[in-house]
Structure 1
Amino acid sequence: MSAPYDFEGLWLKAKLFVNHAMDDPAGRSFEERALWASLALELLAKAALARQSPLLIAVPSEDGTNVLIALGLIGGDARFESVPAKTLYSRCEKAFKPFDKGEAGKITQARNAYLHGPTAEFAKIPEKAWWPRYWSQAVILVSACDREVVDLVGYSRAPVVSGHLEQNRKNIEHRTEMLVERARQRRAQYEAGTLPAKVAREWQPGQSMSAGLSHSHVVECPACENEGFLEGDEVVNVDTQYYQISEEDYDVVVTLTVQGDYFGCPHCGLVLDSYELLSQVGLAEDFDVEGGSDDIPAYEGDYGND
């Protein structure tokens, strides 16, 4: 019997579930197949993280039981508990770009509503739109497991997944084009004095389009070519440089490298709020900002144990 945090066991179970999800629609309803798919996505997330370390899926507890089990230090009848889907997806978003915890979370929310609510409907979007969005996330986790799609679904079903991925790529292209063109149109209407009153009440040039993330960087807007703001919360690197300015004094310069997650333009109202949209216009990149005193790494010094 494999351990509950074993990568191979989690992978094989995800493989079983996702193949149930791809069964003939004549034999299984969309709701049932989507349910199996949502369970497979969570298992893929567990497998991808557990492949790096079982500690990444262990629920922290005061007595450390889960951590000790994950390290193989406790066996027998000890029960291992893994973190919930929300935590799994949050960790996967940080570890396996461009996995989107928001998209994955919507799948889990729909599953929970289907299982525990009165409705028999799994998702509010059509099945033909649901599967491309599902596979755009699942394939990232497959790659994080150092596997290929064919390893998960087999050669006969791999072309089906490829078709969904291609459809998702086209959907992202179309949505990005629509958002950029709408922003250009909105700005042109404002300059011509023909902006509808209803739109004008919701947006005016100069209005902040910020998401309020921790860091921001000025970049050229892909719609109006004015200055917009690329924002992000996640610091992916801290560079600290020390410059001696006197015999006993040093100046410290801290540079933070931040992952861009959101773009907003106050000049035309364009908002791009996902990695896929940012990538489509060439803005899915890290940016550097100046750090403050709180970002200076603490000096630990020597312990004097030589």
Structure 2
Amino acid sequence: MITPYDHQAMWSKAKVFLNRAMDNNPERSFDEQAFWAAASLELLGKAALARVSPLLIADPTEDGLNILIATGLIEGTAKFTSVTASTIFKRCQRAFRPFNAADAQRFADARNEYLHGSTVAFMALPPQAYWPRFWTLASILVNAQDHDIDELVGSTRVKVVESYLEQNSHNIEHRTESLIERAKQRINQYRAGTLPAKIQAEWRANPDLTAGLTYATTQGCPACGGIGELEGYDSSDMTYEYHFDGDVEDPVYATATVKVPSDYFSCPTCHLVLDRYELIQQAGLPETFEAFDDDPPEEAEYGND
């Protein structure tokens, strides 16, 4: 039996709702798509909070029944009710920066008007404005659960979501802040011994977060101050040094110093991962680094004509 506060069940339900939200016309009209998306946003918020503790979403009734259910002290078919969407979003704003509760509440208000009012509130905002705002909020809640967008919508729809996120001029700034703040939160919980057991097990399951690109160097982490690894694969900018043997005219071999664009950063301490150049740049990490290559590709017969 699935418990009513189970964060995985809420995550799965949000996925179902978003599949409906992303069904194109004529199967679903925009107002129906927007309704399912707004409903999924609240579920994503609940899942993110419940993953930390079910107590964060339990409605504290006078007899304490919901709190007892959330702690697992009471099982069975007892009714479980959660706090309001407004409370969910306010708690998400405090816990998962840079989530904006006021923006999220507008989606909830439009959903309520759609269900209970006399107008279709979603129609006040055209699709081209609705979806970038929605995905800006949803992506923060996805990151708060240590998931990626493709885990939510599937690989075939990732580009659709990314196209909406790119329309938000602050997307890279928000995404970088969200990733760094989540990494800080995780390591602080781990050090304080308050990281939930399930999350701790997930966190420990994959200690090697490196991408295995061609070149790498150590770099301080912007989240925890530990030593992370900056990686890149572009070797086009090389400065060759030629090595000779005695009186032989041609060089025997060459080595090279490579100026590598930064493509990926990971930290084994706090598990921060920045997997794009733009995120690395926004985080204030070096945009390029130097690496040594003792077996570089030949440079037009070592530079001789």
- Residue 138 (str. 1) matches residue 114 (str. 2): no
Q: Which residue is 2:38 aligned to?
A: 38
**Deviation string, structure 1 residues 162-189 (Cα, Å, up to 9, x no partner):** 000000126999xxxxxxxxxxxxxxxx
State yes or no: 1:57 paired with 2:48.
no
> How far does the alpha carbon of each residue in 1:177-226 deviate from its partner, in whole angstroms, 9 at most, with x for none?
xxxxxxxxxxxxxxxxxxxxxxxxxxxxxxxxxxxxxxxxxxxxxxxxxx
Cα offset, 1:123, TM superposition: 3.9
- Cα 1:144–1:172 change in 2 (3 A) is closer
Instruction: Tell me the matched-pair count.
Output: 175
- Whole-angstrom distance in 2 between the partners of 1:64 and 1:47: 21
Give the superposition deviation at 1:126: 1.2
Inter-partner Cα distance in structure 1 for 2:110 and 2:85: 13
Structure 1 position 125, deviation (Å): 1.8
Secondary structure in 1 matching 2:108: helix
Amino acid at match of 2:39: L
- Within 5 Å, give how 1:107-126 maps onto structure 2: 107-126=107-126
Distance apart, 1:78 and its partner CA: 1.4
- Note the 1:237-256 alignment, pairs <5 A: none
Structure 1: how far apart are the matches of 2:32 and 2:124? 15
Aligned to 2:167: 167
1:15 CA displacement: 0.5
1:69 matched to 2:78:
no
CA apart distance, 1:92: 0.2
Task: Give secondary structure in 2 for the equivalent of 1:122.
Answer: helix
CA distance in 2 between counterparts of 1:168 and 1:26 reads 27
- One-letter amino acid of the counterpart of residue 163, structure 1: S
Name the CA distance, whole Å, in 2 between partners of 1:138 and 1:58: 21
AA matched with 2:154: G
Q: Which amino acid aligns with 2:56?
A: L
Write the mapping of 1:96-115 to structure 2, written as runs, cut at 5 A.
96-115=96-115
- Measured against aligned partners, the alpha-carbon deviations of 1:141-182 in whole angstroms (never above 9, x if no partner) come to 001111000000000000000000000126999xxxxxxxxx
Distance in 2 between residues matched to 1:94 and 1:120, nearest whole Å: 31
**Cα distance in 1 between the residues matched to 2:171 and 2:52:** 32
Task: Report the AA paired with residue 47 of structure 1.
Answer: A
Inter-CA distance 108–123: structure 2 relative to 1 (3 Å threshold): farther
Q: Give 1:1-306 correspondences, 5 Å limit.
A: 1-169=1-169
1:47, 1:26 → 2: CA distance? 31
Q: In structure 2, do the counterparts of structure 1 residues 87 and 105 end up closer, same or farther at CA, with 3 Å as the change threshold? A: same
1:97-124 CA distance string (max 9 Å, x none): 0000000000011111111111234241
Residue aligned with 2:169, SS: helix
SS of 2:155 mapped into structure 1: coil
Give the alignment's TM-score, normalised by structure 1. 0.55
Per the alignment, do residues 162 and 79 of structure 1 end up closer, same or farther by CA in structure 2, a change over 3 Å counting? same
Shift of 1:80: 0.9
Q: Tell me how far apart the structure 2 counterparts of residues 157 and 169 of structure 1 sit (CA, whole Å).
A: 21
* Cα distance, 1:63 vs structure 2: 1.5
**Partner AA of 1:126 in structure 2:** P
Amino acid across the alignment from 1:98:
P
The separation in 2 between residues aligned to 1:25 and 1:164, in whole angstroms, is: 18
| Identity level (%) | 55
Distance 1:137 1:2 in 2: 27
Task: Return the letter of the residue paired with 1:59.
Answer: D
Q: Which runs of 5+ in 2 are unaligned?
A: 174-281, 283-305
Aligned counterparts of 1:86 and 1:138: Cα–Cα separation in 2: 15
Return the alpha-carbon distance in structure 1 between the equivalents of residues 129 and 71 of structure 2: 41
Q: Alpha carbons of 1:145 and 1:101: their partners in 2 closer, same or farther (altered >3 Å)? A: same
Amino acid at match of 2:168: N
SS of residue paired to 2:167 = helix
- The answer on whether the counterparts of 2:111 and 2:121 sit within 8 Å (CA) in structure 1 is no
Displacement of 1:82 after TM fit? Answer: 0.5
Q: Secondary structure at the match of 2:124?
A: coil
Q: What's the CA shift for 1:25?
A: 2.1
Corresponding letter in the other structure for 1:4: P
Q: Distance in 1 between the 2:138 and 2:172 partners? A: 17
**For structure 1, which runs of at least 5 residues remain unmatched after alignment?**
174-279, 281-306
Q: Which residue of 2 aligns with 1:192?
A: none
The residue type paired with residue 169 of structure 1 is S
